């Protein structure tokens, strides 16, 4: 991969293997983030100052130029005009600098968090799905990462705004202490006075957003269920439901638009009235001769200019709080620890595996079929053999719909629940696992080594988007002949034939666009190509038709000959090819033997011959 190598402070940032964010508290995390950008944040602040401070001089220079020009002619004003020109040029350059550094800071944050999230997902593996709901991981990666940019942008902005605010104040007070005082007192006062209307605006915004997202989910519901709507019917009903919601959103949108109009009208009113007050006071001073015309014109400029730094202060307060919330979510994800402790021992070359809970022993070099009346019991056995914690997604607390104290409590409860789950995982991982390899309990084995040697292909295995070649050989380390063979054993040649570009044919996200049976066979081919010492296949052909299943069974046995294979299935076509079969009842092994030996075993017959009892001739 020839990606250009990037330094730490250029986006996307390199993530050194030993770099750990400060996950102790949300605010520590934000400061860690700012420090991690190195010189970018100071440079951004400096550029923001270069951009905003000249603007503080513009009204003053404008007034001076007019005054000088009026009294001394064009030549007298030229110096001031040159100053004005210089200030504008510096401001433009500063603006570009600020934009450039702010974008860099923003993207360092976004890409940095996204890269850390993917590393964390890979580091935690299946444990991740036990700790954090998928939606939350994605929102950290896509929206919280963006929030940090907004927060730190506001941080740099506010420092520069404070400097320019002070400067403008000094300039005003030295020009006319009384008018300066009026502007300095009135501007913050007016800004605060307009905040009460912001609350209904925020409420209208969140109501519109909530109902809009419901509308979007109705639309995606229609798109997802379109086969049914066009195949079975119901177009009018669901178009009607969509229209009703759409009209509801429209009404809320108009309400939101009305509040926005109120806010804008108020800001015009307040800043206009301030201008009028200045004109009145200034004109009086003008009549007294204590103020020049140009100076009065500068005050008009300041009345307009000062609203912008004030806006920045309000903005910053809001963004910092939002940033803390985003940081809170991010540190629970990035701070989650893997439960597996390092262990020194490795698996032997051809291990005998024994599971205490079921009493099942997996002998090396043989193909063992596992049959159970309760499919969950045999899937749990497969998980134990692979050293996987049981599945279980954490509940979404629904706290987004709560408000105030109830919301904070829900968040606390959720965090406590997460911590409890993490402790529980670590305890389970530390105590004896209950499965041994050559007599050594799994808890004494190195997990990474175990994962390489014992591979469990579970029913939830997913396909990654890319080419067919990438789906079958995601490692990119196998030869064409090996891949062809794996495809053949999984009886998936027809999928190859159905794609326009053969090996380079597109596989969509999670294999969407393929039928369940097609996906299952590619997953199988991938597991076979991996060729581990011990391969555990859970229901590998449940969505495949009998013809194909028979073909797969025959080829699978030949392919895995001499290697340890466990097949969890209820299909007689697969079972009859197994070297031996373990029959589980209530999670315990009750019988073992070849298909022919077990043919008359009542428990075995009950499971595999379901639907056949009434058809005996």
Partner 1 sequence: MSEQLLEATSADTWREGPLPSRLPEGFEVPVGAGPRRRVSAFRRRHSVRSATAKAVYDDARAPERGFPVATSGQAAGFLGGLLNTRRATLGWAIGLNVAAAGAGLVAPLLLGRLIDDVTAGALGRSGLTTTVGIIAGVIVLQALLTFGARRASAVLGYDLLAAAREEVVRIVLRLPLGHVESSGSGDLLTRITSDVSKMAAAARWAFPNLIVSVVLIGATIAAMVVNSWVLTLPMLGTAVIMFFGGRYYLSRATAGYITESASYSVINSTTTETVEGARTVEALGLGRQRVAQLDEDTELSAQAERYTMTLRNMLFAMVDSSFQLPLVGVVLLGVWGHSQGWVSIGQITTAALYVSQLQGPLDRVIAVLDHLQLGIVATARLIGVAQLEDDRTPGEAEPEGVKLTGNGLRFGYRDGVDVLHGVDVDLRPGERLAIVGPSGSGKSTLGRLVAGINRPRVGDVTVGGVDVMDLPLDRLRTEVALVTQEHHVFVGTVRDNVVLARETSASDAEVQQALVTVGAWGWVSKLPGGLDAELGHGKATLTPAQAQQVALARLIIADPHTLVLDEATSLIDPSSARHLEGSMAALLEGRAVIAIAHRLHTAHDADRIAVVDGGRIVELGDHHELLELDGQYAHLWRTWRD
Which residues in the 461-490 window bind partner 1 by CB under 8 A? 461-462, 464-465, 467, 469-470, 474-476, 480, 483-484, 487-488
Please identify which residue in 16, 18, 195, 236 interacts with partner 1, judged by CB under 8 A: 236
167 conformational bin, left if phi > 0, alpha if psi -120 to 50, beta if neither: alpha
**Between residues 424 and 501, which has the closer beta carbon with respect to partner 1?**
501
CA distance 207 to 397: 20
- Nearer to partner 1 (CB atom), residue 58 or residue 176: 58
CB 345 within 8 A of CB 445: yes
- Does 44 bind partner 1 (CB under 8 A)? Our answer is no
Judge contact between 324 and 27, C-beta under 8 A.
yes
Task: Name which position in 359, 375, 587, 593 contacts partner 1 (CB under 8 A).
Answer: 375
CB atoms within 10 A of CB 321: 11
Please identify which residue in 19, 134, 290, 444 interacts with partner 1, judged by CB under 8 A: 134
Q: Considering beta carbons, is residue 138 or 193 the nearer one to partner 1?
A: 138
Q: What is the DSSP letter of 345?
A: B
> What is the smallest separation between the CB atom of 381 and partner 1, expressed in angstroms?
16
Q: Does the protein bind partner 1 through residue 350 (CB under 8 A)? A: no
CB 281 within 8 A of CB 178: yes
- The minimum distance between CB 323 and partner 1, in angstroms, equals 20
Residue 122 in contact with partner 1, rule: CB under 8 A: yes
Phi, psi (deg, nearest 5) at residue 325: -65, -45
The SS3 call for residue 439 is: coil
Residue 179 interacting with partner 1 (CB under 8 A): no
Residues 199-218 that bind partner 1 (CB under 8 A): 214-218
For partner 1, which residue of 337, 413, 419, 509 counts as binding (CB under 8 A)?
A: 509
Spatial neighbors of 598 by CB under 8 A, at least 6 apart, are 581, 583, 591, 604
CB nearer to partner 1: pick between 27 and 260: 260
- Do residues 221 and 290 lie in contact, with contact meaning Cβ atoms separated by under 8 Å? no
Q: Which of 90, 150, 410, 455 binds partner 1 (CB under 8 A)?
A: 455
CB of 334 to partner 1, least distance (A): 14
CB of 234 to partner 1, least distance (A): 3
Contact between 424 and partner 1 by CB under 8 A: the answer reads no
Work out which of 19, 202, 247, 444 binds partner 1, going by CB under 8 A: 247
Instruction: Report the site for partner 1 in 78-117 (rule: CB under 8 A).
Output: 81, 84-85, 88-89, 91-92, 95-96, 99-100, 103, 107, 111, 114-115, 117
**Which residues within the stretch 288-307 sit at the binding site for partner 1 (CB under 8 A)?**
293, 296-297, 300-301, 304
Provide the token pair at 394. 């954490």
Q: Within positions 300 to 339, which residues make up the interface with partner 1, using CB under 8 A?
A: 300-301, 304
C-alpha span between 278 and 274 (Å, rounded)? 6
CA pseudo-torsion sign 431, 434, 440, 444 = negative
389-408 positions binding partner 1, by CB under 8 A: 398
Dihedral over Cα of 242, 246, 248, 249: its sign? positive
If you ran DSSP here, which 8-state letter would residue 466 be given? Answer: E
Site membership for partner 1, residue 237 (CB under 8 A): yes
**Pick from 451, 563, 601, 606: which binds partner 1 (CB under 8 A)?**
451
Does residue 65 touch partner 1 according to CB under 8 A? yes
- Which member of 20, 25, 35, 70 binds partner 1 (CB under 8 A)? 70
Q: Of these, 264, 427, 561, 597, which contacts partner 1 (CB under 8 A)?
A: 264
Smallest gap from residue 8 Cβ to partner 1 (A): 14
d(CA 299, CA 178): 11
- Beta-carbon contacts of 525 under 8 Å, excluding residues fewer than 6 positions away, are 472, 483, 486, 487, 489, 490, 492
Q: Per DSSP, what are the bridge partners of residue 506? A: 467
Strands 435-437 and 588-593: unpaired
- Which member of 36, 45, 50, 77 binds partner 1 (CB under 8 A)? 77
Q: Which range binds partner 1 by CB under 8 A, 155-163, 313-321, 412-420, 506-514?
A: 506-514
Size (the chain), residues: 617
Contact flag: residue 537 with partner 1 (CB under 8 A): no
d(CA 10, CA 13): 6
How many residues line the site for partner 1 (CB under 8 A)? 180
- Nearest distance from residue 25's CB to partner 1, in Å? 25
Segment near partner 1 (CB under 8 A), from 32-40, 176-184, 318-326, 542-550? Answer: 542-550
Q: Does 409 bind partner 1 (CB under 8 A)?
A: no
Minimum CB distance to partner 1, residue 567 (Å)? 15
Burial 525-561 (b: 16+ CB within 10 A, else e): bbbbbbebbbbbbbbbbeebeeebbbbbbebbbebbe
Q: Is 175 in the site for partner 1 (CB under 8 A)?
A: no
Burial 226-253 (b: 16+ CB within 10 A, else e): eeebeeeeeeeebeeeeeebeebbeebe
């Amino acid at each position: 991969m020839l990606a250009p190598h990037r330094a730490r402070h250029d986006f996307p940032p390199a993530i050194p293997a030993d770099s750990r964010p400060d996950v102790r508290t949300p605010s520590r995390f934000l400061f860690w983030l700012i420090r991690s950008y190195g010189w970018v944040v100071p440079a951004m602040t400096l550029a923001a100052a270069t951009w905003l401070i000249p603007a503080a001089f513009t009204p003053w220079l404008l007034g001076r130029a007019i005054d000088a020009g009026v009294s001394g002619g064009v030549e007298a004003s030229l110096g001031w005009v040159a100053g004005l020109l210089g200030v504008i040029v510096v401001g433009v350059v500063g603006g570009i600098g600020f934009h450039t550094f702010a974008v860099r800071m923003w993207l360092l944050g976004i890409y940095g968090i996204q890269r850390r999230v993917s590393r964390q997902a890979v580091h935690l593996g299946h444990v991740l799905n036990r700790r954090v709901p998928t939606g939350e991981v994605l929102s950290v990666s896509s929206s919280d990462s963006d929030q940090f940019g907004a927060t730190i942008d506001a941080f740099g902005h506010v420092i520069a705004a404070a400097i320019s605010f002070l400067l403008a104040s000094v300039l005003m007070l030295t020009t006319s202490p009384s008018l300066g005082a009026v502007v300095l007192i009135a501007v913050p006062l007016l800004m605060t006075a307009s905040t009460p209307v912001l609350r209904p605006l925020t409420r209208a915004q969140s109501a519109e957003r909530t109902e809009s997202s419901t509308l979007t989910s109705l639309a995606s519901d229609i798109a997802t269920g379109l086969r049914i709507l066009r195949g079975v019917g119901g177009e009018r009903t669901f178009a009607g439901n969509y229209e009703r919601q759409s009209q509801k959103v429209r009404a809320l949108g108009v309400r939101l638009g009305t509040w926005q109009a109120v806010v804008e009208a108020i800001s015009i009113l307040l800043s206009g009235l301030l201008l009028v007050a200045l004109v009145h006071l200034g004109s009086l001073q003008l009549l007294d001769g204590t103020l020049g015309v140009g100076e009065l014109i500068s005050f008009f400029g300041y009345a307009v200019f000062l609203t912008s730094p004030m806006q920045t202060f309000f903005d910053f307060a809001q963004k910092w709080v939002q940033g803390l919330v985003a940081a809170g979510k991010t540190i629970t994800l990035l701070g989650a620890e893997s439960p597996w402790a390092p262990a020194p021992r490795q698996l032997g070359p051809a291990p005998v595996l024994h599971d205490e809970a079921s009493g099942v022993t997996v002998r090396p070099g043989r193909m063992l079929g596992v049959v159970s009346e309760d499919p969950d019991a045999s899937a749990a056995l497969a998980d134990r053999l692979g050293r996987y914690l049981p599945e279980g997604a954490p509940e979404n607390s629904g706290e987004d719909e709560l408000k105030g104290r109830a919301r904070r409590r829900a968040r606390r409860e959720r965090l406590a629940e997460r911590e409890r789950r993490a402790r529980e995982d670590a305890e389970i991982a530390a105590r004896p696992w209950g499965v041994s390899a050559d007599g050594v309990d799994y808890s004494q084995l190195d997990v990474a080594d175990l994962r390489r040697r014992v591979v469990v292909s579970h029913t939830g295995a997913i396909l990654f988007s890319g080419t067919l070649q990438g789906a079958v050989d995601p490692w990119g380390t196998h030869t064409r002949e090996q891949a062809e063979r794996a495809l053949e054993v999984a009886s998936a040649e027809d999928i190859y034939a159905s794609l326009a570009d053969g090996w380079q044919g597109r596989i969509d996200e999670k294999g969407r666009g393929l039928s369940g049976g097609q996906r299952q066979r590619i997953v199988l081919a991938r597991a076979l190509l991996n060729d581990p010492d011990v391969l555990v296949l859970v229901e590998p052909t449940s969505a495949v038709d009998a013809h194909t299943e028979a073909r797969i069974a025959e080829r699978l046995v030949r392919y895995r000959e001499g290697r340890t294979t466990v097949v969890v299935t209820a299909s007689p076509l697969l079972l009859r090819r197994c070297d031996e079969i373990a029959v589980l009842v209530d999670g315990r092994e009750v019988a073992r033997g070849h298909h022919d030996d077990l043919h008359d075993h009542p428990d075995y017959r009950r499971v595999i011959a379901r639907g056949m009892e009434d058809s005996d001739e």
